Amino acid sequence: MNNTTLLNLAGTWGTPLYVYEGDKIEEKVNELRAAFAGVPMKIKYACKANTNISVLSLMRTLGVEVDVVSPQEMHLALKAGFAPEQITFTSSGVGFEEIEECLSHGVLINVDNLSAMEKFGQKYGSSRPLFLRIRPNVEGGGNLKISTGHGNSKFGIPVEQKEEILKLVNRYNLNIVGLHQHTGSDIKDGETFIRAAEVMFSLAMSFGNLRYLDFGGGFKVAYREGDAVTDMKDLGDKLSARFQDFCKAYGRELELWFEPGKFLVSESGFLLAQVNVVKNNPNGTLLGLNTGLNHLIRPMMYDAYHDVINISKAGLPARKKYNVVGYMCETDDIAKDRELPETEEGDILAIRNAGAYGFTMASQYNSRFRPAEVLVYRGEEYLIRRRETLDDILKNQVLITF
């Protein structure tokens, strides 16, 4: 999205503001489809990345289905118009009542532990299809906090427990229709996907009734120019070939599923904020914004790099290095040592790659409002979340006067 459009949006809707470019989401959907055009592939958007119901609605229009991790996400997906059979609940250590709730809406259930398999078997036997999340013991992901497939991870049923899994399947005659794995987020090396897939292929041979293999999400996107990303074309060629070999050996054509979050929405998003203060400290110049870790926690939580541009000074040469910080009463770094044009108070900065895990991880910390959200698609702009007000902060609070 160009800087003038962003600046106009900031003018219309105020800051801080999340902006999403629907056309970019569509482009990413098409890129993934093109890479796997040779196999029956379905995209199950990992909606934890961005659950705005209008983003979900756009995904649905684009023919994407959805992966949810809580009953609440399921309700948002239903609200956005997804049919229950387009929704998978990938549960991770949840109470069994959440599985029951999602099942009561007709959603496909994915369980990640033997105890849940046992409870599912006792209650439903073979009457409902079931997915199993497997821990393949493959290390993947940009940092340990977002790695999920390794041998010390809490996620999935360890593949070495194959005998226990099969015992439960036989005891309850479970109808296992799919196997699932997700090794982590920010995986740039396509080989990681292939290694995890090989684990799934060999385990899959022990199940007679599979329809789907879900290889999770985690594709790495570029956070700065020149960043290494997952080579989708190369992964598409290699994994599709291996998948076809597997289907032949298995004796049935399965569907290949992915559940990307970042890949679909990260680059579509911008967090727009205003420079409240330019602070010339002896050890460097700080730009203090009207946003912070309450709206975008990724820099503080993962040391994540987010590109920052001064859209009020677009086209002017970078003159100076700045540290960009938030307005929270807490250390709140957004970006360090960034070369920007000479920046003044009142300028609008755009923080890039804010479409995934931005708003969904935002909070009301410091009793501040969460931002409004705008979606731009095919030349139209839509307000898809109003800015919060004091009523939102007071909602559910109970005042006792003593």
Rounded Cα gap, residues 90 and 100, in angstroms = 13
Contact pick of 89, 172, 357, 359 for ligand LLP (by CB under 6 A):
357
Nearer CB in complex with ligand LLP: 60/262: 262
C-alpha atoms less than 13 angstroms from C-alpha of 305 in its C-beta half-sphere? 12
Nearer CB in complex with ligand LLP: 172/357: 357
Structural tokens at position 381: 């702009």
Which listed range, 96-104, 191-199, 211-219, 330-338, lies at the site for ligand LLP (CB under 6 A)? 211-219
Contact pick of 6, 32, 78, 146 for ligand LLP (by CB under 6 A):
146
Instruction: Check binding of 262 to ligand LLP (CB under 6 A).
Output: yes
- The CA angle 46-263-257, to the nearest 5 degrees, is 55
For 303-314, give the DSSP string. -----EEEGGGT
Rounded Cα gap, residues 28 and 39, in angstroms = 18
Nearer CB in complex with ligand LLP: 191/345: 191
Instruction: Check binding of 139 to ligand LLP (CB under 6 A).
Output: no
Nearer CB in complex with ligand LLP: 347/373: 373
Contact pick of 15, 90, 137, 268 for ligand LLP (by CB under 6 A):
90
Shortest gap between Cβ of 3 and ligand LLP (angstroms)?
25
Shortest gap between Cβ of 296 and ligand LLP (angstroms)?
10
Of residues 296 through 355, those in contact with ligand LLP by CB under 6 A are 298, 302
Which listed range, 77-85, 214-222, 318-326, 331-339, lies at the site for ligand LLP (CB under 6 A)? 214-222
Rounded Cα gap, residues 248 and 378, in angstroms = 42
Size of the site for ligand LLP (CB under 6 A): 20
Structural tokens at position 48: 């934890």
Instruction: Check binding of 217 to ligand LLP (CB under 6 A).
Output: yes
Q: Are 374 and 382 in contact (CB under 8 A)?
A: yes
Contact pick of 22, 121, 218, 269 for ligand LLP (by CB under 6 A):
218
Select from 218, 225, 222, 93 the least CA-distant residue to 154: 93
Contacts of 274 (CB under 8 A, 6+ apart): 10, 15, 16, 289, 290, 346, 347, 348, 349
Contact pick of 22, 121, 178, 260 for ligand LLP (by CB under 6 A):
260
Distances (CA, A) of 56 to 53, 84, 97: 5, 14, 25
Contacts of 205 (CB under 8 A, 6+ apart): 249, 250
Three-state secondary structure call for residue 367: helix
Instruction: Check binding of 250 to ligand LLP (CB under 6 A).
Output: no
Q: Which residues are catalytic?
A: 329
Rounded Cα gap, residues 327 and 277, in angstroms = 10
Which listed range, 2-10, 256-264, 274-282, 318-326, lies at the site for ligand LLP (CB under 6 A)? 256-264
Shortest gap between Cβ of 70 and ligand LLP (angstroms)?
12
Q: Containing H/E element for 257?
A: strand 255-258
Contact positions vs ligand LLP (CB under 6 A): 46, 49, 67, 90, 146, 182, 185, 216-219, 259-263, 298, 302, 356-357
